[in-house]
Homo-oligomer: A and B are copies of this chain.
């Protein structure tokens, strides 16, 4: 019965609270160079200063494996989520030593463990380059030519900036291509592991509790960035305030939300509902089944698959939530009303030049419909195989290198080179038996999704049964060997054509048609960008700065308050207590994923059970925000974001704070666990919380 009323409430959220068109400060993922100053002042009586903004910006860290974090000491100490760190922990583990299972603590700097291929970025500056981009892309170009021109000018800007400043330079496309901002980042690639709890504590409650609340997770991990083999000296880092927060407090979040679909058109939303989300869900669920079954065959198989399985389970909850929302007529009505408002204004103001834009997007989506699954399965998803991915990167490298920088595929541009090589030559372990089942699965999935007569499927299968072909590819390739990868990376395009490795041969056989498909997708995206840029003008004319751009994994500022939630007729308090973890574990008889690790069981009597542990806020967040610091008015660290509740899954399409909440670890819970459970006195001394 509990479940029922939760769903009813979820459905009703959309009906009652999605109607607003003018955003409050809470309803936004704000650019650091365009904060919601007026709304903040109006609602909270708070005005961010330039110093305050700069301090937050430069204390924030982007994890290029897909998350957020922040500096918390002058010696390069960084905090993020355990689940952001988990793929790093997985790569550092082996059959004999499982860092996910066991956790890790370095009690001296010598003991800190170098990560294999982790890059952290800190945003140093933002520059609006919209005019330069638009000037380079002639209005009379067809989409393919416009796309090439745009790619060329973006590469030129990035390369110029890199040469000038030495900083990683990425141009962000904002408002679906209506604005272009140049982001310059300081890169850190010598990153070392300092502390991680056991996954039984960091991911306590596992899949069933994921996107739930109340929660009891110590979802934190500490790293340290090094420069010249010394801890990096960091000017901007966050002070910890051990007083934490109280219910009702204004809080901020700086982080890197990955992707939202707030500003998409109806045609794009229909496409998500009928094409992309269903296809991605099938792919995710099929992989979840595969990984689950493989995990059950042995403890070592479970260890190999654990991180990827957690990732699939998380993705499945996200997309299941999305399809629920996309099928909700209330959401559709809200979206429709918003689109009608824009179209009416556009019709009344032909001088804005947006007429026809919606129809162009609709036509582009229709073209993408036939292409989508094939593009994903052949080009984008890399056969779900690390070996395939590396083979493709190696095969394409000499061809791309030979092109002018601006004509290369994005991964091969000079501005991406450092990260590209870091990843290509990573010593991360690759497990042949695990690759084998994944490649076999991909071959079968492709054949089922595209039909066994699809030309790419015929090439992929190579006239063999899937199991036999997977064995030939995985056991036959040498690209698992870093030395061999370095050897191939030195070849020119002509030499690459003669390499006899079976995985390279597969990539080669697919390459022409796969590239052609990518170009077709790029042209469609270009058409959409241009149309969106015209729609954006209508929106500005109507709403001005009151709407933030969709998330793009660039730094954003979120705003909200600590607030409980009325759910199923009961009030859920905003804070959980650390002692509640033991109670929940006992309720589930300490059985996975509710079994606590030894360290916690031993410390049971020492832990101050009443310490606030996790809490919720109304801050707008989404995947990629994981690990974002939660800050008080003074810009002090009072927690770390790690999840949203189940109601937050509609946030991809619309903001509401009736039931949706972000979920965070409280600063007080972290300090108490470090002290009473892990006895991490060195870490506590370094953090030096006030």
Interface residues of A, Cβ cutoff 8 Å to B: 1, 3-4, 7-8, 10-11, 14, 206-208, 273-274, 277-278, 281-282, 285-286, 288-289, 292-293, 296-297, 313, 316, 320, 323-325, 327-330, 432-433, 436-437, 440, 443-444, 447-449, 451-453, 461, 463-468, 470-471, 475, 593
Contacts and interface: CB of A to CB of B under 8 A. Distances in A.
Nearest to A287: B285
The interface centre, meaning the residue of A327, A330, A447 with most chain B CB atoms within 10 A of its CB, is A327
A467 B296 contact: no
Nearest to A326: B452
A472 B296 CA distance: 38
Contacts of A463: 329
Contacts of A449: 278
A296 B14 CA distance: 28
A468 B7 contact: yes
Nearest to A592: B296
Contacts of A1: 432-433
Given A14-B465, A444-B327, A466-B327, A3 B436 contact: yes
A467 B285 contact: no
Contacts of A452: 273-274, 327
Q: Which 10 A-B pairs have the closest CB atoms?
A: A7-B467, A278-B448, A328-B465, A11-B468, A11-B465, A208-B296, A285-B289, A208-B297, A4-B471, A285-B286
A591 B164 CA distance: 60
Nearest to A279: B448
A316 B330 contact: no
Given A327-B452, A328-B466, 10 more contacts: A4-B475, A8-B471, A10-B465, A282-B282, A282-B448, A320-B444, A324-B465, A327-B447, A327-B466, A329-B465
Contact of A593 (B296, B436, B468): B296
A648 B436 CA distance: 21
How many copies make up the complex? 2
Contacts of A281: 286, 448
A303 B444 CA distance: 32
Given A11-B465, A281-B448, A437 B3 contact: yes
Contacts of A328: 465-466
Contact of A274 (B4, B8, B327, B451): B451
Contacts of A207: 293, 296
Contacts of A451: 274
Contact of A470 (B7, B208, B282, B475): B7
A465 to B, nearest CB: 4
B289 A316 contact: yes
A271 B452 CA distance: 11
A450 to B, nearest CB: 10
A465 B330 contact: yes
A49 to B, nearest CB: 44
Nearest to A325: B465
A313 B451 CA distance: 24
Contact of A7 (B206, B273, B293, B471): B471
A346 B515 CA distance: 48
B467 A324 contact: yes
A206 B433 contact: no
B4 A433 contact: yes
A137 B222 CA distance: 78
Contacts of A14: 465
Contacts of A273: 447, 452
Given A3-B433, A289-B285, A448-B281, A8 B296 contact: no
A298 to B, nearest CB: 8
A324 B432 CA distance: 20
The interface centre, meaning the residue of A1, A14, A433, A466 with most chain B CB atoms within 10 A of its CB, is A466
A87 to B, nearest CB: 22
A10 B448 contact: no
Contacts of A470: 7
The interface centre, meaning the residue of A296, A320, A593 with most chain B CB atoms within 10 A of its CB, is A296
A477 to B, nearest CB: 13
30 contacts: A1-B432, A3-B433, A3-B436, A7-B468, A7-B471, A8-B467, A8-B468, A10-B467, A11-B468, A208-B293, A278-B448, A278-B449, A282-B286, A285-B285, A285-B289, A288-B289, A289-B289, A289-B316, A292-B292, A323-B444, A324-B465, A324-B466, A324-B467, A325-B465, A327-B443, A327-B444, A327-B452, A327-B461, A327-B466, A328-B466
Contacts of A10: 465, 467
A7 B440 contact: yes
A471 B286 CA distance: 27
A323 B285 CA distance: 17
A498 B288 CA distance: 45
A452 B324 CA distance: 12
Contact of A327 (B277, B288, B465): B465
A7 B444 CA distance: 14
A439 to B, nearest CB: 11
Nearest to A437: B3
Contacts of A208: 293, 296-297
B7 A464 contact: no
A294 to B, nearest CB: 9
A603 to B, nearest CB: 25
A318 to B, nearest CB: 13
B323 A206 contact: no
Contact of A277 (B316, B437, B448): B448
Contacts of A285: 285-286, 289
The interface centre, meaning the residue of A329, A437, A463 with most chain B CB atoms within 10 A of its CB, is A329
